[in-house]
A and B are shown apart, each in its own frame.
Chain A
Amino acid sequence: MGNKIVAEQLNLYYGEKHALKDVSLDIVENKITAFIGPSGCGKSTFLKTLNRMNDYVNNVKVSGSVLLDDENIYDSRVDTTILRKKVGMVFQQPNPFPMSIYDNIAYGPRIHGIKNKKQLDIIVEKSLKAAALYDEVADRLHSSALGLSGGQQQRLCIARCLAVEPEVILLDEPTSALDPISTLKIEELLMELKKKYTIAIVTHNMQQASRIADFTAFFLVGEMVEYGKTKDIFSLPQDKRTEDYITGRFG
């Protein structure tokens, strides 16, 4: 069991604003790591640094390093498309493309050069099954993805992410826009997926973190305050601020 991602001394600035301060954190392979903290604490920002989606924000500056299997993703030689193929991301709002369910899933593989129809069929089916969506949509693969319910759309987005065979999946509050039943389904799915993938999830729902995460990191105003096994963070927080947060005194 090794470290899949190692962030060292990561600093990030939005213009003048120091949004991440010296964050160092290891993400363990085939485990779920949760980032918690009040809004604006930098947990989502940190998640986005892991596949460089921050590149598209104006005026952003990053220092420090993030190693993915010992390669620094902020190295100037890095091809971000390969990085993002390895480190996939699922967003807060379910955001399927305005295409059919099939084309949504096939989008990634096609981008990466798979043209063969049979091969695509197999990938689509496999990804939908892995995202526990196949049975619900098998008979309407070629109808618009926008016709699905919110929970189904989010699982579709997870399936879309799986279709490019990533090694790491980043999820940015994936259930905050969903109802409790859909949330539960996604949580079960993540528990299943961690057998094959390394997962990092941002959540503002502490119960969710305690239910599914193996490790939890607590962020506060750009600092990573505490990081450890989820059990330990929730039962024996070392830092006073962590304790205050998880006992609901602020946030």
Chain B
Amino acid sequence: MDKSMVSILSNRQTKSMVEKVAAIILTACAIVSVIAVISITVYMFISGTPALFQVGITDILFSSVWTPTAEVPSYGILYVILTSIIGVFFAICIAVPIGILTAINLAEIAKPKIRGVVKSAIELLAGIPSVVYGLLGILIINPFMYQLELIIFKDSSTHQFTGGSNLISAILVLAIMILPTLINITETALQTVPDHYRKSSLALGASQMQTIFKVVLPAAKNGIMSAIVLGVGRAIGEAMAILLVAGNSVNLPLPFSSVRFLTTAIVSEMSYASGTHRDVLFTIGLVLFVFIICMNLILTFILKGGKDDG
């Protein structure tokens, strides 16, 4: 009966050492995301603010003249900010109805087989690299836009022809790119709507469409709002897909003008910019970052509101 002699206190020290070290390491892992967010925030501000003071806040944010390499350089990014806002707004306007209706089909109507096919298609759309969207934008959407341009501005003497690289092309590419995000999150939101809402609506003599649009959609509105906010975030942060498609010159965002977004402004000039010019690019990064953080705060707010309801 040797075993009964083993003290329950034995080995306690080495064991608890392992336990303690494991706990510490795991905690450290968890903190990495906090550290990352803090350092990204700090670096975006450190690198983005100097130009604001050097050039002047109004001269950057509210001036529309962008001539960073001129003898007397001007660093106004108003048009760039406007382009991002307007571009994202219209991309959302196109993608939201299509995305929500497709999600409704997937979650409420489609038979399992069709659902499987559409789901796989959307997963694949989500996985396609953004440069590939850009490539297709240049070779499919731009030529089409050019044809339109030729027809519309046939008699115009002032229009600068862009070869189809314009705001509309960029909006279309963005709309396609955020579609999977919208569909997936909306579908999940619809699936979490309890089935008894549907049943009691149907039992009152409502048709399937009435049930979907009057009960299920309102019940899922928080989830749908999150989908839209995340979609906005994705669209505003997208760079490579629209870099060449949008034409990339700083202009007032008109449908058939070549335009530059916040993101594409950074990508297209970072490689050769220096001095104040480079600092201003970081300021653009900061503006973008602030947009994204606002989106996140809105999202948190929406999700919190949802919890209070239930």
Contact = CB atoms under 8 A, between A and B. Distances in A.
Interface stretch (A3-11, A66-74, A78-86): A78-86
Interface residue SS majority, chain A? helix
Nearest to A81: B205
Contact of B199 (A91, A99, A111, A160): A91
A88 B218 contact: no
B214 A95 contact: no
B200 interface: yes
Interface string A218-240: 00000000000000000000000
A84 B203 contact: yes
Interface string A71-109: 000000000011111001101010101110000000110
Contacts, number: 67
Given A107-B214, A111-B210, A53 B203 contact: yes
Contacts of A111: 201, 204-207, 210, 214
B41 to A, nearest CB: 37
Interface residues of B, number: 19
A97 B215 CA distance: 7
A35 B207 CA distance: 28
Contacts of A95: 194, 196-197, 199-200
Contacts of A146: 310
B22 interface: no
Contact of A84 (B202, B219, B309, B310): B202
Given A93-B196, A95-B196, A107-B214, A88 B203 contact: yes
A159 B169 CA distance: 54
A112 interface: yes
Contacts of A98: 197, 218-219, 309
14 contacts: A56-B199, A81-B205, A81-B206, A81-B207, A88-B204, A91-B199, A98-B218, A98-B219, A108-B204, A111-B204, A111-B210, A112-B205, A160-B204, A164-B205
